[in-house]
Structure 1
Amino acid sequence: MGSLVVFSPLFFFVLAIQMSSLMVSLSQEGFCSAPPILNAADSTAQPLYWKVTNPTLSPSHLQDLPGFTRSVYKRDHALITPESHVFSPLPDWTNTLGAFLITPAMGSHFVMYLAKMQENSKSGLPLRDVERFVFVLHGTVFLTDVSGVTHSLNVDSFAYIPPNSTHHIKCDASSTLVVFERRYSYLESHYTDLIIGSTDKQPLLETPGEVFELRKLLPTSLPYDFNIHIMDFKPGEFLNVKEVHYNQHGLLLLEGQGIYRLGDSWYPVQAGDSIWMAPFVPQWYAALGTSRSRYLLYKDVNRNPL
C-alpha cells in the first residue's frame, strides 16, 4: 500500500495564493464572461470604492458558472460575497433596496447592511435604543439631524447617530451606504453625540509591532460601545498578530485583494466582500495584488464582556 501524504497548513496557504493569482489571470483572459481587469491608469480614474458597487464577480458575470458562490457560513465566521447578495425593499425606508450581510441570526450582536438609495429616497429610523453608523460608498446623501441641520455626505464620509435621535437621510440621485446598527449598551452618566466626518480627516494612529495604517472613525472614549476602523495595507503587508479575542468584527473590503484566515480556513478576498468574525475565532490577513488594500472594520469596545 502507498504511504499517507500529510499536507501542512502552509501548503494550503501557498496553494490559495496560487489559485487566487490563477483566478485573476483567467479573469484577464475573459473567463466566466467577466470583463478584462483595467490597467493601473484606468483604475485610478475610477471613483473611490467603485469596485465595491461594481464587483468583478457580479451575478451578470456568472452566467457560465450556475450555482457558483464564494460565500461561506460557519459557526464562528462568515464570508458574504457580492454574487450572493439578495436585495429587497428596506423596511421603513422609501425607494431603497437593502441587503443584510450580518445579523443576529448568525450570532452577532449587530447588523451590517448595504442600502442602495434611489432618486427621492429617504431613510427610516432605527428601532428604539439602537445606534446607527453610516458610511458612503457611492454618491451623495443628505443627513438632517435632530436640530434640523442638514449635512452633506459624500463618498468616504460617515455619520454616527446616537440611539433615539430623530434624523433622516435623503438622496436626490442613486447612492450606496454601508450601515451598522446595534442596541446601545448604556452606562450611567455617559452619552454619545452626533458625529459627522470623513476618512481623510482622521489622523493616522500608531500600530506598535504592525505595518498597516490605522484610522479610527469614532472617539475611543467610554460612552462609545463600538468603533469603526479603516485599515490600509500595501501589497505584501500582513497582520503580525494572529488575533484571538472576545470582540466581534464586521468587515467590508473597500479596495484591493488578499487572503483572510478565519479559524482553520483560508479565503481569497477582494473589494466588495464582507466578513463576520465571532468572538475568539482565529483571524489573520495578508494583502496581495498590485494596489492598496483597504477595509472598514466594526469592533465592539469599552464594555465588560459579562
Structure 2
Amino acid sequence: MKNLAEVKFLDRMESFSIHSLLLALFFLCIRDLRISFSQQGICSAPSILDSPPLYWKATNPTLSPAHLRELPGFTRSVYGKDHALITPESHVFSPLPDWINTLGAYLITPPMGSHFVMYLAKMQENSKSGLPPSDVERFLFVLQGVVTLSIMSGINHELEVDSYAYLPPNLEHSLKSDNFATLIVFERRHAHLENHMADLIVGSTDKQSLLETPGEVFELRKLLPTSLAYDFNIHIMDFQPGEFLNVKEVHYNQHGLLILEGQGIYRLGNSWYPVEAGDAIWMAPFVPQWYGALGKTRSRYLLYKDVNRNPLL
C-alpha cells in the first residue's frame, strides 16, 4: 500500500502532466496563428462571414493529389497529338512581348496544332498591354483584379472579374492596371468574310441570358454574337455536382478551355483526367471529349470554339 507521501507525490505529477499538456497545446495554437497571420496578414485573417472572390481558385489553384504537392517532378500536365492538359504547377511565366510590367504564360499555341493562342496575362502595378499583330483579333476575360480598357476614340471601360472584351483586328486599344490583375486572353488571325464586320464587344457573364441546351442539363451562356462576322465564340458552361455532358462529342471544331470553378472528370481521346479550377485544356479537331462534374460545388468553365467558317477555308 502507498503511504500518504507517495499518494500526494503521484497526484502532483498527474496534475503537472495535465498542465504541461495544456500548455503545449496552447503554444501549438499560438504557433499556428502566427503562421497564418504571417502568410495572410493579420488584417486578412479568414472570417466565416467573408466569401472568397469569384474565380479565386482559378488564380490560386491547389495541386492534387495533396500528398504529391512537394514530390519533385510531379505534374498532372499531359501533352498529346490531339489534346493537352496544362495544369498550374507547369505554368512558366515570362515578360509578355510589347506589354509593360506584365508576365504571361502561353497555354495553347499553333505549334500544338491550334490556329489560335491562349495565354494568362498577370498584370502588375502600373502595367499596360501591347497590341496584337496585324489582322489578329483578341478576346480577354478578367479572372482577378480590375483593368481599364481604353479605345483610341477616347472611350474607357472598367473591366472587373467576370467581365470580358472582344477587340476586332487592327483596333487601336490598350489595357491598363494600377494593381495586380489576371486575364485569360485568346488571339487568332481573323478569318474575314466579305460584307461582315466584327464590332467591339464589352460585357460580363452575369448579363448574358441562359440559352436552351436540348437534351442537356448544363447551363450555357455565349459571350459573343452568333452572327457571321465572328469566327469564334466563347461559351460559359455551368454544371451542378453530378451533371455531365449527354453527348460524347467528336467534331471538327477546336477548343481551348479554362476551368474557372469546381472539379470533375474530362475525357480526352481514350484518357480520363481529374481536373479542377485553374486547369487549361486544348482539344484538336475530332478528339473524343466528355465532361462530368464532381465535388460539392458548381463547376464552371470557359470554352473557346471556332464557328461560322467552312473547314475547307
Please classify the TM superposition score into its range, dividing by the shorter chain length. Answer: 0.7 to 0.9
Residue matched to 2:77: 71
Q: CA deviation digits over 1:125-150, x for unaligned, max 9?
A: 00000000000000000000131201
Which residue matches 2:226?
A: 220
1:255 matched to 2:291? The reply is: no
Identify if the C-alpha distance between structure 1 residues 43 and 98 changes in structure 2 by more than 3 Å, giving closer, same or farther: farther
| Structure 2 counterpart of 1:229 | 235
Q: Does 1:272 align with 2:278?
A: yes
Gap runs ≥5 in structure 1: 1-34, 36-40
Letter in 2 for 1:247: N
Q: Superposition pairs for residues 180-259 of structure 1, below 5 Å?
A: 180-259=186-265
Please tell me the residue identity of whatever aligns with 2:244. Answer: F
Residues 43, 285 of structure 1: CA spacing in aligned structure 2 closer, same or farther, 3 A cutoff?
farther
Cα shift readout 1:170-202 (whole Å, capped 9, x = no counterpart)? 001000000000000010111000000000000
Mapping for residues 101-250 of structure 1, pairs under 5 Å: 101-250=107-256
User: How big is each residue's C-alpha offset from its partner over 1:202-230, in whole Å with a ceiling of 9 and x where there is no partner?
Assistant: 00000000000000000000000000000
- Report how many aligned residue pairs link the two structures: 266
CA distance in 1, matches of 2:267, 2:134: 36
Q: CA deviation at 1:44?
A: 7.3
Query: Could you report, residue by residue, the CA deviation over 1:224-252 in whole angstroms, capped at 9, with x for unpaired residues?
Result: 00000000000000000000000000000
With normalisation by structure 2, the TM-score equals 0.83
Decide which of 79, 90, 103 is 1:97's aligned counterpart.
103
Secondary structure of the corresponding residue to residue 89 of structure 2: helix
Tell me the residue number matched to 1:81: 87
Aligned-partner Cα distance in 2 for 1:171–1:256: 28
Structure 2 residue aligned with 1:6 = none
**1:295 matched to which residue of 2?**
301
Q: Take 1:240 and 1:67, find their aligned partners in 2: how far apart are those partners?
A: 36
Rg comparison, structure with higher value: 2
Distance 1:175 1:224, change over 3 A: same
Contact 2:63-2:69 within 8 A present in 1 as well: no
- Which structure features the higher share of helix residues? 2
Residues 60-69 or 144-153, more deviating: 60-69
Q: Secondary structure at the match of 2:140?
A: strand
